[in-house]
Chains A and B, each alone.
Chain A
Amino acid sequence: MMKFNDRVIGILAILGGIAIISGTFGFREAPGQQFGSGFFPRIVGAAAMLAGLVQVLAARDRGPWIRIAPELRSRDAFLKLGVLAAVVFWLLTVQMLGFLLTTTLVALALSVAMGARPLPATGVAAGLSALLWLVFGMVLRVPLPRGLIEGLMSWT
């Protein structure tokens, strides 16, 4: 599918280790303590660099740096990106549109993108968000973001 070369994974680990260690230098020392806040992160950073180095040296993978399988170059790749985009969309619009509408839109879009027919998909999406709203919003009293539809309902 989307596979990095084993060497690339090793290099990423080394860079990650360097980043962790360099991130610890801003920590202030705790008085009277030999092993401050930076002690464990530095060990883990060093371990990341070491494990990354072994990974680079031991890699027998002579392929390209990143391999993307043919099925990922097709529409499925857009579908996977679409799943992530749907979550981002939910995050960006939920405060404005409210939980019910946003969740319905997200479920509907993914259903249709995966090949469901629009009419039944709309029913399932609306029913699903109503059910989640009932369970989490009403029974469990989670303050789900309110918007258009919720505003209408409290009015009546």
Chain B
Amino acid sequence: MDVMWEALLLVARPDVLLTILAASTLGIVIGAIPGLTAVMGVALLVPITFFMDPVPAIAAIAALAAMAIFSGDIPGALLRIPGTPASAAYVDDAFAMTRAGRPERGLGLSLGSALIGGVIGVLLLMFAAPLLARFATNFSSVEYFWLALLGLSCAAIVSTGSALKGVLSLIFGLFVAFIGIDEVAGQPRFTFGSFELMGGVSFIPAMIGMFALTEILRNATRNAPKPEAPRMGPVFAGLGSTLVRRWRNVLRGGLTGSLVGALPGAGADIAAWVSYAIAKRRSRTPEKFGTGHDEGLIEAGASNNAALSSAWVPTLVFGIPGDSITAIVIGVLYLKGLEPGPIIFVKTPELIYAIFLSFLLANLLLLPLGWAVIRLARHLLRVPQAYLMPIVLCACIVGSFAINNSPFGVGIMLAFGVIGWLFEENGIPVAPAILGIVLGAMLEFNFVTSMLKSKGDLMTFVERPIAAGLGLVVLLLWAAPVLRALRSRT
């Protein structure tokens, strides 16, 4: 209980609370504007958090992401343009409600389910992460090797679209992770004689390129449609009774989202699709889905916010990111000198609980801020792209510069922006590449360390029971697509 109290003191400081409020406001605006995504907001926020203490820095990221994932529903409901990919699953239902003259109904349901789903996700995070961390304290490099491999395998298999293209994306990420000096042997790799690349590809500029510059390239067009958003009725009218009547959907969405989010590599987007599909299968009226029905909207809306929180479970406990946002968080944690892993639960538990509390706070802030943004949505949607995109571009440039105080970061941002854009144009998912960059170094380091400890005996990877179990899971994951292909042939 002392830890909880200490954590509360860490969060209840005016600067931390103000930071959370500011980041939440920023997040809710970013999500509501078409073309600005949650991951992009996080990538652009990082250069600022770089200069903060750990608790406000992490709290700002958590708050921004939670808000942006909810408010991504707004352009989806009003214009049928999902503000973030996680809103795409139920965009048809929300838009149908708008066309029927009740835009506030769809948005109110999104808000209510996002709030409850988010709280379920945070509670699961608070409960599961410390338990897992206690279990993980006796993991050695062998277990971490398998965990990293598990994360990479999930990233490729669970990603949206063709699994093969997911693998190609992953391989690209692994290659990027090799760039720089090999820590164990002191050998520079793939630096092309560049002094700046000796320390490796700077992660945050690369993320800004892949998630923000890519988005500018996609939105750089002269003939952007001029959206006309409808007027809103009262947001909360009849909302409570609908959510009570659909409590099964809210609860199931929150729990499914938490589970999917906790898988490495599967984030809020996938959670929303999975939950929408479950809601449809379990519904008495599946034929109504996509025509302005509330069940799928509620279940998937709760699911994506829950996934956002639970993605932090593998991130904080094992250092294995749950999705693209937490991949960026891992980069931030290292910058702050906080190596993610069970050790931080033991050494600085108050820090972890402070992060959890700020998560909870951010999710509760959804209610007032969400209401405000729904009322203001008409105006936000009309911000002209011709002003918005230059603002984002300049934020990309200065943010990439600020990480190392060097124009080289801007060059990295440019290169990864072009690569990310080409990836997207060709249906190659970006998320596996990000996880490849983060996990590649971890995979190799733990492999080499294990080999040095065991003097080159490969059996060390299956000698300990947990390691053997994890290895078996990885093998099953790899075998599954092959077995499915064989079965479909016979």
Contact = CB atoms under 8 A, between A and B. Distances in A.
A16 B358 CA distance: 44
B486 interface: no
Interface string A81-103: 01110111011001100010001
Given A47-B171, A55-B168, A110 B390 contact: yes
Interface in B375-433: 384-387, 389-391, 393-395, 397-398, 401-402, 405, 407, 410-411, 413-414, 417-418, 422, 425-426, 428
Residue from A37, A90, A124 whose CB has the most chain B CB atoms within 10 Å:
A37
A51 B220 contact: no
Nearest to B408: A91
Interface in B422-450: 422, 425-426, 428, 443-444, 447-448
Given A37-B185, A76-B220, A91-B410, A51 B164 contact: yes
Contacts, number: 177
A87 B414 contact: yes
A2 B410 contact: no
Contacts of B167: 47, 51
Given A75-B222, A128-B390, A87 B410 contact: yes
Interface string B169-198: 001101100100010110101100000000
Given A3-B426, A13-B171, A40-B447, A76 B222 contact: yes
B285 interface: no
B401 A107 contact: no
Chain A binding surface SS class: helix
B120 interface: no
Interface string B29-45: 00000000000000000
Contacts of A83: 213, 216-217, 220, 389, 393
Nearest to B171: A48
Given A30-B184, A79-B220, A144-B398, A116 B393 contact: no
Interface residues of B, number: 59
A115 B222 contact: yes
A149 interface: no
Contacts of B187: 27-28, 30, 36-37
B221 interface: yes
B164 A55 contact: yes
B222 A114 contact: yes
B452 interface: yes
B218 to A, nearest CB: 9
27 contacts: A2-B425, A9-B165, A16-B172, A17-B171, A20-B190, A24-B189, A33-B184, A33-B451, A35-B456, A37-B182, A44-B175, A44-B178, A75-B222, A82-B220, A95-B407, A103-B394, A106-B393, A107-B390, A108-B390, A111-B386, A111-B387, A116-B386, A116-B387, A128-B394, A132-B394, A141-B51, A142-B405
Given A87-B213, A106-B390, A114-B221, 19 more contacts: A3-B425, A20-B175, A23-B189, A28-B185, A33-B448, A41-B189, A48-B168, A48-B171, A54-B164, A71-B221, A76-B222, A80-B220, A82-B220, A83-B220, A83-B389, A87-B393, A107-B390, A110-B220, A145-B407
